[in-house]
Structure 1
Amino acid sequence: MNERATTVEGVRRTNLAEVLRLVHHGGPRSRAVITAETGLNRSTVSDLVSRLVEAGLVREQEPDPTRRVGRPSPIVVPSADVVAIGVNPEIDAIEIGAVSLGGAVRVRERIEADSPDVAQVVETVARTIAAWREGALSGCRIVGVGVAVPGLVRTDDGLVRLAPHLDWRDADIAGPLSEALGLPVVVGNDASYGARAERLFGVAREHEDVVYLNGGASGIGGGLILHGELIGGAGGYAGEWGQTAASITDAADRRADGGVLEDEVNRARLVRATGLTAPDEAALEQALAAPDDAAVADEAGRQRRILAATLGNAVNVLNPSMIVLGGFLGSLRDIDREGFDAEVRARALAASAEGLELASAALAADRLLIGAADAAMERLLADPLA
C-alpha cells in the first residue's frame, strides 16, 4: 500500500472513530447533525455511517414523522447488541452489568459475596457471562470487560496495588479474567470510573471541571476532571478523598481519633444508626430521607457537616464548576439539598463558589458499571474497524 493510500485510510479510521464516539456518548442524532458537529461534508458522513452500519456498530432509523420539515435525515442510533461488561467487586457483593453502546445497562446482577478474592471474582464473572451468552446477551457482540476496584490501581498495567477492604495487595485480576473469558480486560479505580460515567452520560455532561466523590461499603473514593480530562496523577492513584484528613470544626463531631474522612463520613455508621440489615443504596436512601429516629437524624447531620466542610476545601483548591456525589454521599445531600449546598458554598471563598453547582449522581447504582464498561469500549471507539 502506498503512502497516500495509508494516509487516506488513516483519516477514514479517525473519522469513523469520531462519528462512533459522537453517537455513543451523545446519543442518537441525524446525519445532518453529525455533519454539523464534525465539520465533514455530507457525502463523507454518509459513507462513514454506512461503514459503521455494515460493521454492526450503529443502525439507522426514520426520524419522528410528526417533526418532519422538508426531507428529514435518517437518525443514527448506537447498536444495543454491541456491549461491554462492567464489574464492581465490593466487600459484600460482586456487581456485574452488560452495557450497550450508548451507555444503557442491558442486564445486571448483584451476587452476594463476603470480601471476595480475585479467584472468586473471576469464577463468578465467567459463570455469569456464560449464562448471559445463552440468554440475555444471545446474539450480542461483547467487546471487553472493565473492572471497577475500590482501591489503588496502577495506570500502566491495571495492577491493583491496594484494595484494603478486599485485602487485595499487588493483585492481578486483568490477566486471569482475560484468560477465563477470552476478552480484553481493563482495570481502574471504581470512583474514577464513576466520575467518567457521570461526565459522559450523567449529570456532569455539560461540565468541564468536576469534582466527584463516591461513597460505598469500602469507603470514599473520587475522581477529578479538569478541562474535560480525567486526572489520574503520576501513577493513577489520584482522587483518594477518603484518605484525607476529616474537616471537623466541632470537636463533638469526631468519632475516630486521628481518623481520616472515610472513618467519620461512613456508610457503616449510617447503617448501624438506621438498624437496617445489609441495605442496598435505595433502602439506605429511603431510611435517611425521612428518619423517624433522632439517632439517625443526628448521625446524618454530623456526617453532612463534615462532608460539607471537606467539599468547601475542594472548591477553594480546585474551583470546579460542579461537584457530584455518588452512593451514600448523594443520599446525605438529598436529605436537604438546598441546605447542604448552601453550607458548602459558605465554607468556600465566595469567588470560587460563584456558579458552582452540586448534584447527586444521576446514574444511581449503575454508574460504576457504566464507567467501567465505557473504559472497556475505548479500543473499539478509537478504531471501530480494528
Structure 2
Amino acid sequence: MTQTESPAAGRGNSTDHVRRHNLATVLTLAHRSQGISRSQLTRVTGLNRSTVAALVGELVERRLVLEVDADVQGQVGRPSPIVKPDPLAVAIAINPEIDAITIAVVGLGGTVLKRIRYATDHEPTAREAVNICAAVIEGLRGELETGHRVVGIGVAVPGLVRSLDGVVRLAPHLGWVDEPLAEMLAEATGYSVVAGNDARLGTLAESTFGAGRDLSDFIYLNGGASGIGGGLIAGSQALTGAAGYAGEFGHTLVNSMGTVCHCGGVGCLETEVTRAPLLALVGLTDADSDELENALVASESADVRAEVHRQLDFLAVALRNAINTLNPQTILLGGFLGSLYAVAPAHLNALVAHQPLRASREGVSIGRAALGSNLLMIGAAELAFEAVLGDPATF
C-alpha cells in the first residue's frame, strides 16, 4: 500500500525560497480547521508573526482566505484575527449513481453551497453522465463565474478509478469499463477534473471534517445505490493501494452460498446488504440516505426490522474480517449502512462484540459518519482542492 504525504504537511520554514510551501501550510490549516487565529498559525507553524501576517495577506489577495474579527466576549487583551477559508473559492463535486447523478458546489472549508440531485430512470452510460453533468454545470456557470472562483471538478465514482489519469477501470453497477471519465468531463466543461473511488473520498471527508477528524486508525464503510465500498486510515495516513483500488469491502465474502455478484464472485457483502429492499419495504422509490434513514427509523413494521437484522448479520461478518485483519480503533458507517445501524445499533454491537478475535475487538467502537448526505460531495471536492492546497501560488 502506498501513501503520498501532502506538500502542506509539517511545519513551516521562514526562508524565502519555501514561501510556496508556507502558503500551502497556512491555507491547509485554515481549510481543515474551517477557521484558525493568526496566533494559532504562528504557534503551529513555528513561523514568526510578521511572516504569518505576510502569508495570510497574500492568501487574502488571492481570494483564498478571509480575515475576520475574533469573538471578543470573555477575552482579555487584543484578540488575534481569525483566518477562514474563503467559501467563494469553490470546487464542483459530482457523484454518479445507478439512479441519480448528484452535483454540488463546495467551498473551501468543506461548505456545501448548493446540491442538485438529477434522477435518472436507468443506469447512465459514462457519456450520458458526462452530458448530464455538463448541462447542469452550464446552467450554473453564470452564477459561478460572477461570484465564485472554480478550482476544478472532483468526481466520486462507485468503482475502481485509476488515480494516475481518472480512468474508471470498473464501475460494475453502472456497467462502466475503462471509461476515460476525467478526460471526457474536462473536454465537456472546460474545467480540470480529478476522479477517485467514492468510498475512499468519503473516508477523506470524514477524516478531515467529520467523525474521523481526531482518529488515527479507523475504517469507513459506505453503502449507496451502487453498492458498498470503504476506506482505511492507519497511523493517520490514508491507505489507497498501489493503483488506488484499496478499500473494496463490498466484495468481501460473507455468504459462500450466496448469489453471483457483478464482480463475478459469489456471496459478496454488497449482494447481501443492499439498499433496494429497504426502499421497497418503506414504500420509497427514490431517496437520499437521510430520507431513507428517517423512513426506516419511523417504521414499526416487523418486516422492516427483520430485513434490517438480516442485513446487519452479514455486515457483522465483513466487520469481523476487517477487525481481525486491520485492527482499527473505530468503524464509521455511512450511507444506508449508517441507516441500518441507526435502526438496530444494539444488534450490530452485540455481533461485533463476540465474533472477531478477542484481542482485536477490544476497544473497537462503531460509529456513524457525521457528514450525512453531503459526505461524498465534500470528499469529491477535497480531491479537486488538492492542487490549490498543495500550491496556492498557482491559483
User: TM-score if structure 2 supplies the norm length?
Assistant: 0.91
Counterpart position of 1:93: 100
Q: What does 1:96-107 correspond to in 2, within 5 Å?
A: 96-107=103-114
Q: How big is each residue's C-alpha offset from its partner over 1:301-342, in whole Å with a ceiling of 9 and x where there is no partner?
A: 111111122212211111111111111100111113244224
Q: 2:225 aligns with which of 202, 213, 217?
A: 217
1:281-320, aligned counterparts within 5 Å?
281-320=289-328
Contact 2:309/2:344 (8 A) holds in 1: no
Give the letter aligned to residue 151 of structure 1. G
Q: How far 1:136 sits from its partner (Å)?
A: 6.3
1:256 aligns with 2:259: yes
Letter in 2 for 1:256: T
Q: What is the CA–CA distance in structure 1 between the aligned matches of 2:164 and 2:370, rounded to whole Å?
A: 30
Q: 1:274 aligns with which of 274, 279, 282?
A: 282
**2: CA distance, partners of 1:218 / 1:365:** 15
Residues 15 and 247 of structure 1, relative CA distance in 2, 3 Å threshold:
farther
Structure 1 CA distance for aligned equivalents of residues 287 and 193 of structure 2: 30
Aligned residues of 2:162 and 2:245 also touching (Cα < 8 A): yes
Query: CA separation of 1:10/1:184 partners in 2, compared to 1, >3 Å: closer, same or farther?
Result: farther
Contact 1:59 1:77 in 2 (8 A): yes
Q: CA deviation at 1:141?
A: 0.1
Aligned residue among 85, 110, 114 for 2:117: 110
Could you report, residue by residue, the CA deviation over 1:167-221 in whole angstroms, capped at 9, with x for unpaired residues? 1110011112112222111011111111111111111000111111111111111
One-letter amino acid of the structure 1 residue matched with residue 85 of structure 2: P
Task: Give the distance between the partners of 2:292 and 2:145, measured in 1 at CA.
Answer: 31
Q: CA deviation at 1:9?
A: 4.3
**Residues in 2 aligned to 1:300 and 1:336: alpha-carbon distance in whole angstroms:** 8
CA separation in 2, counterparts of 1:345 and 1:375? 35
Q: Give the Cα–Cα distance (whole angstroms) in 2 for the partners of residues 19 and 226 of structure 1.
A: 25
Q: Verify the 8 A CA contact 2:255 2:267 in the aligned structure 1.
A: no
The amino acid across from 1:263 in the alignment is: T
Asked if 1:39 is matched to 2:46, the reply is: yes
Amino acid at match of 1:371: G
Is 1:170 aligned to 2:178, yes or no? yes
Q: Does the CA-based 8 Å contact 1:57-1:82 persist in structure 2?
A: yes
Query: Once the 2 structures are TM-superposed, how far is the Cα of residue 51 of structure 1 from its aligned partner?
Result: 0.9
Partner of 1:4 in structure 2?
A: none
- Partner residue, 1:63: 70
- Give the drift of 1:351: 2.5
Deviation of 1:348 after TM superposition, in Å, equals: 2.1
Q: Distance in 1 between matches of 2:77 and 2:357?
A: 53
In structure 2, relative to structure 1, the CA distance for the partners of 1:294 and 1:137 (3 Å cut) is farther
Q: CA deviation at 1:287?
A: 2.6
Q: For 1:72, what is the secondary structure of its paired residue?
A: coil
**Corresponding residue number in structure 2 for 1:236:** 244
CA contact (8 A) 1:132 1:138 kept: no
Secondary structure of the structure 2 residue equivalent to 1:276 = coil
Gap runs ≥5 in structure 1:
1-6, 249-253
Deviation (angstroms), 1:270: 1.9
Instruction: Give the TM-score, by structure 1 length.
Output: 0.93
In structure 1, C-alpha distance between the alignment counterparts of 2:81 and 2:343, rounded to whole Å:
44
Where does residue 366 of structure 2 map in the other structure?
Answer: 358
Comparing 110-119 with 197-206, greater Cα deviation is found at 110-119
Partner of 2:9: none
* 1:245 paired residue number: 253
Per the alignment, residue 78 of structure 1 pairs with 85
* Aligned equivalent of 1:378, options 362, 368, 386: 386
3-state secondary structure, aligned to 1:64: coil
CA distance in 2, matches of 1:308, 1:243: 14
Matched position secondary structure for 2:73: helix
Q: Quickly say closer, same or farther: Cα 1:94–1:334, change in 2 above 3 A.
A: same
Distance in 1 between residues matched to 2:127 and 2:255, nearest whole Å: 38
* RMSD (Å), alpha carbons: 1.8
| Contact map agreement 2:249 2:318 (CA 8 A) in 1 | no
CA distance in 2, matches of 1:309, 1:347: 8
Instruction: State the distance in 1 between where 2:146 and 2:217 align.
Output: 40
Q: Per-residue CA shift, 1:153-179, capped at 9, x if unaligned?
A: 112211101111111110011112112
What's the offset of the Cα at 1:68? 2.8
Q: Residues 34-73 of structure 1, C-alpha deviation per residue, up to 9 Å, x if partnerless?
A: 1111111111111111111111110101111213311111
**More displaced 10-residue stretch of structure 1: 163-172 or 309-318:** 309-318
Helix, strand or coil: the match of 1:259?
A: coil
Change (3 A) 1:40 1:355: farther
Q: For residues 250-307 of structure 1, give each alpha carbon's deviation from its aligned partner in whole angstroms, at most 9, with x where no partner exists.
A: xxxx763742111111111222333322233223212321432221111111111111
Structure 2 contact 312–347 (Cα < 8 Å) conserved: no
SS in 1 for 2:392: coil
Report if the CA contact (8 A) 1:95-1:109 is conserved: yes
Asked if the contact 1:313/1:347 (under 8 Å) is kept, the reply is no
The separation in 2 between residues aligned to 1:288 and 1:146, in whole angstroms, is 31
Identity of aligned residues (%): 50
Q: Distance in 2 between matches of 1:106 and 1:333?
A: 29
What residue number does 1:325 align with?
333
Amino acid at match of 2:259: A
